[in-house]
Structure 1
Amino acid sequence: MNFQLLKKLSNADAIASNENEVRSIIKDELKEYKDSFEYDGLGSLIVTKKCKKKDAATIMFAAHMDEVGFMVRYISDIGFAFLIPIGSVEERAKSMQLVRVTTKQGEKIEGLLNSLKDSEGKVNQIYVDFGFDSREEVEKSGIDVGDMVCFATNFRLLKSENIVAGKAMDDRVGCYSLIKAMQSLVNVDLDVNIVAAFTSSEEVGTRGGKLVSKIVSPDLFFAIDVAKNPELDRGYRNTRRLGRGVMLEFFDKTMVPNPRLLGYIMEIAKDSGIEYQKDMFKGGGTDAGSAHMENGGIISSVLGLPLRYCHDPYSLANMNDVKSMQKLIKEIALRFNDEKIKDLYSF
């Protein structure tokens, strides 16, 4: 199995509104579609495969490019860069981690992340020690307020078969699956238009999903995202097991999907031999939460990939699950048509 594309995506740095490194990789991988490339005002990349039928329905799949990370907020007189989190970084990940800042000149500078806690043990300040001893040294290096800071994690394959570890797996595994599915559809005739949206700023309020849906006005919307596997629980309440397939999300606090759509997806998965898990989110949401409220209401669903240690310096993913996701995306594109989509809107 070739891991090189996922390695490139995982090792790239991209917090909200700073997704250029990831966007460039995706544009290169999907260059067969370059004449269709569009963007929203945040930088989300919209890639379209048009079918030959006039006025055909449109299905959009969205995976977000941004990761949780930090931004430089202050530079102290003794040469430390104090940070603000961008997205919901895990508390345990805010101390004694190697990170890297990307300067405005594009240079990567590594340092050690640490934090201070209040009387209740909660993190209230986060800073990076780059080894400098003064503000002047920091500024001379090129580091400035507003610079992106990400975990200095390097993607790797673990000893356990098909398990990979890397940063930003939320949602680079989704991006990877969608890229691979679109590559497999280049020379395939379809009954519907397929749009792959690689969205900006999901981790700070599912913003890209709202914008790309408003621009394209799809008939169906699928968020390709992830959820955290409770690693110590291997019982029946863990519906996010690594290696057990794609997660079909029946509920989250931002959206309840159309039951008939879920039924269709389960039929497709069963017919195609794609293993899946039935999952629900207690909290949080995805791009589907904002997208489904656009244009009078877009029937939407979340197709999830299980991860261990989400929003941490390393997350674990099973490549068999990722392969199942790319296969499911392709099968949905192949099997849906105008009539089936119209039936979903018959209330």
Structure 2
Amino acid sequence: MIELLEKLSNADSIASNENEVRNIIKNELSEYSKTFTYDGLGSLMIKKSASIEKAPTIMFAAHMDEVGFMIRNISDIGFVHLMPVGGVEDRAKINQLVRATSQTGKKFYGVMNIIRNPSGEIEDIYADFGFDNREEFKNSGLQIGDMVVFGSSFRRLEKTKNVTGKAMDNRAGDFALIKAMHGLFNKNLNVNVIAAFTSSEEVGTRGARLCSNIVKPDLFFAVDVAKHPELDRGFTNHRKLGYGPMIEFYDKTMIPNRKLINYLRKLAKRNKVPYQEDMFKGGGTDAATAHLENSGVASAVIGFPIKYCHDPYSFANIEDFEYTSNLIQLIAESMDKEKVAEFYNF
């Protein structure tokens, strides 16, 4: 399914502009098409029903949006000035190939660069798409508000099990969840499974909050990524590529249900699925808002390790996709009403 990952990575979808990724997912999971529902932002929810009545519901959420930009201003010399959408790395704003999408879907390639203030801080971001004046820009079909993303192309790295491309945050999570839903299609389950491909995570975990409010899941799992500190190969690095997904113990937006965390550890060990254990000093995932809905939802984060997060190219490991997908399926296949109730036995 590496071709699917390539499609997802090369697709352009910033917050509230996720059509390209959403359409790929709908096509790939067409066997579930009768179950497709949406929130008001465009998050896609797909349901695998339990084989029994009155079953609890668990939700896995992977966001569709990537960090990027919107066209904010147009200068007299035809340059566009950009507004970041999400936490783009500062190093990723300098002399980068970018791609803009018009409202009709036409693509334009250009080069992005920065202007610094006297203190050396980034004051403005601009892109040159080859237009010589404002009129040429307007005649192209591009407008203020149009989406701009990195102009990267997906690649398989030679002689390794790694791939690289843009938007692995969170196309890696999307891919693993799609793969898991394929695997669950013909399975008899004791829980309903909702795969939520959410909108607008990079600007405040907005879609997950709505999906959780609509579905009211009994358990919530964010399927997201974490940045590998590429120069650290020591004992403090719990985000190594090829060592399996991370089970997260803490971030500034959520501390997960400890019984649920312990259950995931035992489940992974029993089934020989490699995993890592980590905590985030900052940041958050879709679980940040989702776990606070419906009087509180027992939640956990399954983190996919990548290098160079929020950069033009990120690295991901092919084996980690398999491990993450397997863990999602194991969770769904092992859950039942009694197990879910135990997580709430305080």
Q: Normalising by the residue count of structure 2, what TM-score does the alignment of the two structures yield?
A: 0.99
The DSSP-based 3-state class of the residue aligned with 2:15 is coil
Residue 268 of structure 1 is matched in structure 2 by 267
**% of aligned pairs identical?**
58
Matched, 1:257 2:256: yes
Residue 315 of structure 2 is matched in structure 1 by 316
Residue 199 of structure 1 is matched in structure 2 by 198
Residue 38 of structure 1 is matched in structure 2 by 37
User: Which digits, 9 at most, give the CA deviation of each residue in 1:279-311, with x for residues without a partner?
Assistant: 000000000010000000000000001110000
Question: What is the rounded CA distance, in whole Å, between the counterparts of 2:257 and 2:298 in structure 1?
Answer: 7
Which amino acid in the other structure matches residue 312 of structure 1?
D
User: 4+ residue runs of structure 1 moved beyond 4 angstroms?
Assistant: none
After TM superposition, list the pairs within 5 Å mapping 1:1-347 onto structure 2: 2-347=1-346
The DSSP-based 3-state class of the residue aligned with 1:333 is helix
Which amino acid in the other structure matches residue 124 of structure 2?
Q
The DSSP-based 3-state class of the residue aligned with 1:70 is strand
Uncovered stretches (5+) of structure 2, i.e. residues with no partner: none
The DSSP-based 3-state class of the residue aligned with 1:293 is coil
The DSSP-based 3-state class of the residue aligned with 1:324 is helix
Question: What is the rounded CA distance, in whole Å, between the counterparts of 2:69 and 2:277 in structure 1?
Answer: 33
- TM-aligned CA deviation for residue 94 of structure 1: 0.6
Question: What is the rounded CA distance, in whole Å, between the counterparts of 2:64 and 2:235 in structure 1?
Answer: 32
User: Which digits, 9 at most, give the CA deviation of each residue in 1:96-119, with x for residues without a partner?
Assistant: 001010001110000010110112
Q: Normalising by the residue count of structure 1, what TM-score does the alignment of the two structures yield?
A: 0.99
User: Which digits, 9 at most, give the CA deviation of each residue in 1:165-184, with x for residues without a partner?
Assistant: 00000000000000000001
Which amino acid in the other structure matches residue 14 of structure 1?
S
Question: What is the rounded CA distance, in whole Å, between the counterparts of 1:95 and 1:231 in structure 2?
Answer: 20
- TM-aligned CA deviation for residue 203 of structure 1: 0.1
Question: What is the rounded CA distance, in whole Å, between the counterparts of 1:187 and 1:82 in structure 2?
Answer: 50
The DSSP-based 3-state class of the residue aligned with 1:266 is helix
- TM-aligned CA deviation for residue 63 of structure 1: 0.1
Question: What is the rounded CA distance, in whole Å, between the counterparts of 2:82 and 2:61 in structure 1?
Answer: 29
Which moved further from structure 2: 62-71 or 239-248? 239-248
- TM-aligned CA deviation for residue 160 of structure 1: 3.9
The DSSP-based 3-state class of the residue aligned with 2:13 is coil
- TM-aligned CA deviation for residue 159 of structure 1: 1.5
